[in-house]
Amino acid sequence: MPRRDKVDQARAEMLKTVRTAIRLKHSLAADRELNEALPRAEKAFNEAVMKGELPDPLSIKAALGV
């Protein structure tokens, strides 16, 4: 692979920075959503277990609040 000149290297770095920023933005949004959803799902699971029921672990209704 040939070496990049300074312009091509700067372009590649800029594009990588944009990609990383967008991925980080979505990752942080996912973290916020998980921070809300996981405790709800765990609470629903624990409540079902206390009633003697074992919920289907593939059911995501409790985590999504539906």
Record the pTM.
0.71
Contacts of 38 (CB under 8 A, 6+ apart): 63
pLDDT at res. 62:
60
Domain locations along the chain: 6-64
**pLDDT by 10-residue block (mean), the chain, 66 residues:** 94 98 98 92 90 84 65
